[in-house]
């Protein structure tokens, strides 16, 4: 463990967690509003400007940040102040930590920590995301917020089960839980021409995974823990930057889901038929990193489109979908994958 290694790791943490994830998350707060406007034939945010430069409304995240920082930081009477302050951080940190094991390019240089237990690490850290929502609602001494956090906890625990089980098929096919090795495995070709991407060999798992992870992320059509327009949610008593942290964590989680789906189902940094082992170097490596970023942006776009397509479920429907449909389907998917693998 020498100094160069430490410095390189720090640089990677700053580049991946803060530059890539945070900035993409901040842009997504603009993207969500702009996309919702564009799909509804409206113009959307276009007013905030710095010295007259509006850049299609891209100055809005900056304006929102300034507004969130300068607003009153309100703590309700009777709230548990320590947990109340802790909850937004607990919501924000896990999605950023998950990026530690996501390979952005070929080889160990493009991943912060090339763990062999990559996916398990993601689930371990991702499971901590529940604490932010639960403690946030519980500590703010408000019945509505408490009910919202109960909904959040129940929903996230239910969907985490099938979210994990969906990926077992991928593990069985590629024989590893290390994200870097899964990406390498996806460089193989089926019948000599079809890239063996996760979505090709496990299409059902991909749909189930996206459903479960969008429910995990508490976004429409599964946004019952928040339900800002009528049933109120766990972040009811939060204001200023603490509320913004909850919101930003949601958008960073979109990036996390997109990065996970890109890695597990869309071949990570693989460009089809080009350098599947990732040993070429030079411009091909640059292209592979760009391919990964492009896949992540595309999957973020897909999630936003889903969010603006579907109306919200009723809560019993959410629970029924999680336990009665997604869980049996993911178990069936595992069995089917096992049978097919055994026959081959």
Residues near other proteins (CB under 8 A):
35, 38-43, 207, 305-306, 308-310
Query: Residue 38 CB, nearest distance to other proteins (Å)?
Result: 5
Query: Residue 308 CB, nearest distance to other proteins (Å)?
Result: 6
Smaller CB separation from other proteins, 35 or 334 = 35
Q: Which two tokens stand for residue 115?
A: 């763990």
Smaller CB separation from other proteins, 41 or 230 = 41
Task: Judge if the upstream peptide bond of residue 221 is cis by omega within 30 degrees of 0.
Answer: yes
Smaller CB separation from other proteins, 182 or 210 = 210
Smaller CB separation from other proteins, 211 or 285 = 211
What phi and psi, each to the nearest 5 degrees, are found at residue 57? 90, 5
Residues 6 or more apart whose CB falls under 8 angstroms from that of 309 comprise none
CA pair distance 86, 88, nearest whole angstrom: 6
Q: Residue 248, class by beta-carbon neighbours within 10 Å (0-12 exposed, 13-18 middle, 19+ buried)?
A: buried
Query: Residue 305 CB, nearest distance to other proteins (Å)?
Result: 6
Smaller CB separation from other proteins, 190 or 305 = 305
Query: Residue 31 CB, nearest distance to other proteins (Å)?
Result: 12
Q: Which two tokens stand for residue 168?
A: 């077992």
Query: Residue 36 CB, nearest distance to other proteins (Å)?
Result: 10
Query: Residue 42 CB, nearest distance to other proteins (Å)?
Result: 6
Q: Residue 311, class by beta-carbon neighbours within 10 Å (0-12 exposed, 13-18 middle, 19+ buried)?
A: exposed
CA pair distance 138, 150, nearest whole angstrom: 9
CA pair distance 206, 203, nearest whole angstrom: 5
**DSSP strand E in the chain: where?**
189-190, 194-195
Query: Residue 219 CB, nearest distance to other proteins (Å)?
Result: 15
Smaller CB separation from other proteins, 6 or 302 = 302
**Would you call 189 helix, strand, or coil by DSSP?**
strand
CA pair distance 2, 10, nearest whole angstrom: 13
Distances (CA, A) of 278 to 118, 136, 259: 19, 44, 19
Smaller CB separation from other proteins, 43 or 286 = 43
Query: Residue 136 CB, nearest distance to other proteins (Å)?
Result: 30
Smaller CB separation from other proteins, 49 or 143 = 49
Q: Which two tokens stand for residue 226?
A: 């928040």
Which among 141, 145, 142, 128 is positioned nearest to 91, based on CA atoms?
Answer: 128
CA pair distance 107, 8, nearest whole angstrom: 14
The helix (H) or strand (E) run that includes residue 30 is helix 23-39
């Amino acid at each position: 463990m020498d100094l160069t290694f430490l410095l390189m790791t720090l640089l990677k943490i700053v580049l991946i967690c803060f530059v890539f994830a945070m900035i993409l998350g901040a842009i997504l707060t603009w993207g969500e509003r702009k996309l919702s406007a564009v799909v509804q034939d409206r113009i959307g945010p276009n007013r905030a400007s710095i010295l007259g430069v509006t850049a299609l409304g891209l100055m809005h995240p900056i304006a929102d940040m300034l507004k969130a920082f300068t607003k009153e930081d309100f703590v309700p009477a009777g709230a548990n102040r320590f947990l109340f302050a802790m909850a937004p951080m607990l919501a924000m940190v896990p999605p950023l930590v998950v990026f530690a094991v996501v390979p952005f390019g070929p080889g160990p240089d493009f991943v912060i920590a090339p763990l062999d237990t990559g996916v398990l690490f993601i689930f371990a850290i991702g499971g901590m995301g529940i604490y932010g929502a639960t403690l946030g609602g519980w500590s703010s001494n408000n019945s509505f917020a408490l009910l919202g956090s109960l909904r959040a906890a129940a929903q996230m625990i239910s969907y985490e089960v099938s979210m994990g089980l969906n990926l077992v098929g991928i593990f069985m096919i590629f024989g590893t839980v290390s994200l870097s090795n899964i990406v390498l495995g996806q460089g193989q070709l089926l019948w000599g021409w079809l890239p063996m991407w996760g979505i090709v060999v496990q299409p059902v798992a991909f749909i189930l995974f996206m459903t479960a992870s969008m429910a995990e992320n508490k976004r429409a059509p599964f946004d019952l823990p928040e339900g800002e327009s009528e049933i109120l949610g766990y972040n009811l008593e939060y204001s200023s930057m603490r509320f913004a942290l909850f919101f930003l964590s949601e958008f960073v989680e979109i990036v996390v889901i997109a990065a996970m789906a890109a890695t597990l189902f869309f071949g990570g940094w693989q460009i089809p038929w080009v350098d599947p082992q990732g040993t070429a170097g030079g411009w091909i490596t640059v292209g592979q990193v760009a391919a990964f970023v492009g896949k992540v942006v595309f999957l973020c776009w897909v999630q936003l489109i889903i969010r603006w397509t579907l109306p919200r479920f009723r809560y019993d429907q959410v629970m029924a979908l999680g336990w009665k449909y997604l869980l049996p389907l993911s178990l069936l998917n595992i069995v089917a994958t096992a049978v097919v693998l055994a026959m081959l």
